[in-house]
Chains A and B, each alone.
Chain A
């Protein structure tokens, strides 16, 4: 099987300071990978390099494009990379405000991404928006409201709808449940898990919440000081951690 994403030796430096270094992995269709580590461990830098939002200093990020198979997105032309960002990729930000247009209606936020891939029929776009609002459990009568009138959990669900409406194959998520109430988190996790299954999505989820990766991720990568120190099946890494830092991380979680 061809991997959907092939990451080869990615490094990114901020001046002389290392963001992340020597990262390698393959992600297969339908796989969900979690990246955990403390603040400053390089996980967000890595995610941004993979999603084309930062240019790595070295290495290749090959994506299995529909037309031409594996292509290096680091060296690809900007318009082509942006097209991927609108179609096959989705990026769910921690802060929904970074992923939404706050002064455009909920329906408009979802429809806009469709128009970016050349949907023009107003009725069809509105119906797609309604369908997606329903799937993320936002009631239809809120379609004309702006996200500023939404709660944090609703904004996050709207961001997910906006991202998934074009049927992407790979979703990047940066702390998707960060800053939300635990009850809202549970609902969002349940929603994400269902969507990942139904759409056979591949996803890379950056988080510092080990409970989130246990529920969502098949595989786990643990980062510290910019480097990957441990990888494996999620439950194996969490239940039988090998590296000293992972052991510390797992044993530091407060039991509820």
Chain B
């Protein structure tokens, strides 16, 4: 479902003495449908960078990233937008929404853009918000004023409401209490059961052991430091 071939990435900081920082080289791996792979490696090793490259959020310098047959590294913006709508989900650590839009609509949006009937989409969004214990009186409010943990759960609901065949999870359980963490683990397990290919970053060892089939050490792709 997700396959990368010989990826490389560097950042050039033009306004800081044109420093060039090479962060990834030679990254090749595959993730099969129904498989959950954890990216591991020390902070700064490039886990988030790699994930953002797969999502098309960071440009790839060379190599290919195939997600459901589309090469993210070379696709046009509209192809990536379509891929993100239909195929590739991403639960980031930060919720970014238009102010004033109610939580329920924020969560239902991935279904609505895929032509799910309005009532049906709202019903599914409600079910997920209930499972993630977002109090019902908050559903009609914009999540911009929610606590960090609540925002993260809204983000998770948004990422799991539509059955994406490929999912990227960036620390989905970082600021959650044990009960909600268990719910997120259930959601991940359910996604695997419907054959989603998942790549995740999990700092919590117990979480990682519970849902991941294998680990991928990104330090293998860290370029040699050149002086």
Main secondary structure of the interface of B (DSSP, over half): loop
Question: Which residue of chain B has the shortest Cβ distance to A183 in the bound complex?
Answer: B99
- Per-position binary interface string of chain B over residues 77-109, scored 1 when its CB falls under 8 Å from any chain A CB and 0 otherwise: 110110000000000000010111100000000
- Per-position binary interface string of chain A over residues 115-141, scored 1 when its CB falls under 8 Å from any chain B CB and 0 otherwise: 000000000000000000000000000
* Interface size, chain A (Cβ < 8 Å): 24
Question: Known contacts being A28-B78, A189-B98, A190-B98, is A233 close to B56, with CB within 8 Å?
Answer: yes
Report whether B113 and A243 are in contact in the complex, using a CB–CB cutoff of 8 Å.
no
Chain B binder among A101-109, A142-150, A214-222: A214-222
Chain B residue contacts of A214, Cβ below 8 A: 96
- B15 CB contact (under 8 Å) in A218, A219, A251: A251
CA distance A248 to B56 in the complex (A): 21
- A232 CB contact (under 8 Å) in B52, B77, B96: B77
- Per-position binary interface string of chain A over residues 217-248, scored 1 when its CB falls under 8 Å from any chain B CB and 0 otherwise: 01100000000000011011001101110011
Chain A residue contacts of B29, Cβ below 8 A: none
CA distance A31 to B85 in the complex (A): 13
Query: Which of the listed residues B11, B58, B100, B113 has the most CB atoms from chain A within 10 Å of its own CB?
Result: B100
Chain B residue contacts of A97, Cβ below 8 A: none
Query: Which of the listed residues A193, A218, A232, A235 has the most CB atoms from chain B within 10 Å of its own CB?
Result: A235
The bracket for how many chain B residues form the interface is 20 to 34
Is B114 at the interface (CB under 8 A from chain A)? no
- A236 CB contact (under 8 Å) in B14, B57, B98: B57
Is A81 at the interface (CB under 8 A from chain B)? no
Chain B residue contacts of A240, Cβ below 8 A: 11, 52, 57-59
Report whether B59 and A242 are in contact in the complex, using a CB–CB cutoff of 8 Å.
yes
Is B42 at the interface (CB under 8 A from chain A)? no
Is B225 at the interface (CB under 8 A from chain A)? no
Question: Known contacts being A232-B59, A243-B14, is A218 close to B78, with CB within 8 Å?
Answer: yes
A-B contact pairs, 14 of them (CB 8 A): A193-B98, A197-B113, A214-B96, A218-B81, A232-B59, A232-B77, A233-B57, A239-B52, A239-B58, A240-B52, A240-B57, A244-B14, A244-B15, A248-B15
A190-B98, A244-B14 known, 5 other contacts, Cβ within 8 Å: A189-B98, A193-B98, A218-B78, A239-B57, A247-B15
Which 5 A/B pairs are nearest by Cβ-Cβ distance?
A244-B14, A186-B99, A240-B58, A233-B77, A219-B77
